[in-house]
């Protein structure tokens, strides 16, 4: 049994949506900052850098569409495309967060760190979430260190409690997102493994019954083959005697034809039994190798 089938089905259904949400968020950021700049806000934002930012958003949308169009293979999510999607997400989160962090002078953009990490949790991969937490967390702390005048609260009597609350909020939020993803991934897999273990005795019992049937059919086929051989020899003697006996009539010839037909039918039956035995044994062999 496939212990990750539930996760595989989940990813097959949500992969496109995850990529669309990520690229849609990038496009939304490009449109929002461009409109705010056109309306006269963010005068310190350089038009050239903003143009580059918008272009990168369009590139992400194009890459996302490529991932979506090639994600399915034989009706299932291609594992290779899933890996590409995770790499794409890890790279885009790091670039976008830092680009906006240094492009737009805002003291409150730190709160979007949670949104960026939550995006990575859609893939139910706690390792990816851990990478995203490290990327965003280190980027946030670094921005506070090198550009504190813009990113940190006003340095008054509430500066210390504000920073303490920020750090606690970031740490607890990151931990919550990580453990939610970790528990879902780990316990869902364990649940599927326990279910497979529970059904294993029934599967072994069924395989044993099928093996017994196959062995019985095999023995029956051997006996029938022996009987067919003896019948063929008897028919040959009868036919030889009938040809030698000039006095045999039409009734004896008819009986000989019936015996020949019955012998042929018996041979065909033996062949069918042997084919059935082979099919049963072939159907059992893969199951016993993969519990």
* Grouped pLDDT means (10 residues each) for the chain, 291 residues: 63 89 92 92 90 94 93 86 93 93 88 90 90 94 88 85 91 92 78 48 58 62 62 60 53 56 64 65 53 42
In the three-class reduction of DSSP (H, G, I as helix; E, B as strand; rest coil), residue 108 is classed as coil
User: Residue 252: inside a domain, yes or no?
Assistant: yes
For 216, phi and psi rounded to 5 degrees? -65, -45
My answer on whether 128 and 27 are in the same domain is: yes
User: Residue 1: inside a domain, yes or no?
Assistant: no
User: Residue 100: inside a domain, yes or no?
Assistant: yes
User: Residue 86: inside a domain, yes or no?
Assistant: yes
The pLDDT, as a whole number, for residue 290 is 43
My answer on whether 205 and 70 are in the same domain is: no
My answer on whether 26 and 120 are in the same domain is: yes
My answer on whether 123 and 242 are in the same domain is: no
Q: How far is CA 94 from the centre of its chain?
A: 26
User: Residue 27: inside a domain, yes or no?
Assistant: yes
| Cα(166)–Cα(41) distance, integer angstroms | 26
My answer on whether 147 and 204 are in the same domain is: no
My answer on whether 56 and 138 are in the same domain is: yes
End position of a domain, from candidates 152, 181, 213: 152
Q: How far is CA 1 from the centre of its chain?
A: 14
Model confidence pTM above 0.85: no
Nearest one of 111, 116, 110, 109 to 131, comparing CA atoms:
116
User: Residue 169: inside a domain, yes or no?
Assistant: no
Domain count, the chain: 2
In the three-class reduction of DSSP (H, G, I as helix; E, B as strand; rest coil), residue 247 is classed as coil
Radius of gyration of the chain (CA): 37
Burial (CB count within 10 angstroms: exposed 0-12, middle 13-18, buried 19+), residue 189: middle
Token pair of 88, please?
A: 């794409």
Domain that holds residue 69: 9-152
My answer on whether 146 and 239 are in the same domain is: no
Nearest one of 143, 135, 55 to 89, comparing CA atoms:
135
| Cα(175)–Cα(66) distance, integer angstroms | 33
Token pair of 280, please?
A: 């049963």
Query: CB-based contacts of 47: which residues, under 8 Å, 6+ apart?
Result: 37
User: Residue 164: inside a domain, yes or no?
Assistant: no
User: Residue 15: inside a domain, yes or no?
Assistant: yes
My answer on whether 28 and 125 are in the same domain is: yes
The pLDDT, as a whole number, for residue 152 is 86
β-pair partners for 73: 76
My answer on whether 38 and 129 are in the same domain is: yes
My answer on whether 17 and 136 are in the same domain is: yes
The pLDDT, as a whole number, for residue 74 is 79
H or E segment and range at residue 76:
strand 76-77
Find the angle CA(80)-CA(81)-CA(86) to the nearest 5 degrees. 100
The pLDDT, as a whole number, for residue 178 is 93
The pLDDT, as a whole number, for residue 75 is 78
Burial (CB count within 10 angstroms: exposed 0-12, middle 13-18, buried 19+), residue 151: buried
């Amino acid at each position: 049994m496939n212990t990750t089938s539930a996760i595989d089905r989940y990813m097959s259904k949500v992969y496109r949506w995850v990529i669309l949400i990520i690229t849609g968020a990038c496009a939304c950021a490009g449109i929002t900052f461009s409109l705010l700049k056109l309306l006269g806000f963010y005068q310190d934002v350089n038009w050239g850098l903003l143009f580059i930012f918008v272009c990168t958003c369009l590139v992400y949308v194009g890459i996302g569409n490529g991932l979506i169009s090639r994600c399915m293979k034989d009706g299932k999510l291609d594992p290779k495309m899933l890996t590409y999607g995770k790499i794409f997400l890890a790279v885009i989160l790091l670039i976008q967060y830092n680009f906006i962090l240094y492009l737009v002078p805002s003291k409150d953009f730190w709160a979007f760190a949670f949104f960026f990490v939550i995006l990575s949790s859609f893939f139910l991969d706690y390792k990816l979430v851990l990478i995203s937490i490290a990327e965003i967390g280190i980027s946030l702390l670094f921005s506070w260190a090198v550009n504190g005048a813009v990113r940190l609260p006003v340095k008054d009597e509430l500066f210390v409690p504000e920073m303490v609350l920020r750090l606690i909020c970031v740490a607890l939020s990151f931990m919550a997102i990580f453990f939610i993803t970790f528990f879902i991934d780990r316990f869902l897999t364990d649940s599927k493994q326990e279910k497979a273990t529970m059904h294993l005795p029934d599967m072994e019992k069924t395989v044993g019954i099928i093996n017994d049937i196959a062995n019985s059919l095999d023995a029956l086929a051997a006996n029938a083959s022996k009987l067919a051989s003896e019948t063929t020899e008897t028919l040959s003697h009868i036919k030889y005697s009938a040809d030698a006996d000039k006095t045999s009539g039409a009734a004896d010839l008819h009986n000989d034809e019936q015996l020949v037909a019955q012998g042929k039918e018996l041979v065909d039956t033996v062949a069918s039994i042997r084919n059935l035995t082979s099919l049963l044994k072939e159907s059992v062999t893969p199951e016993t190798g993969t519990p």
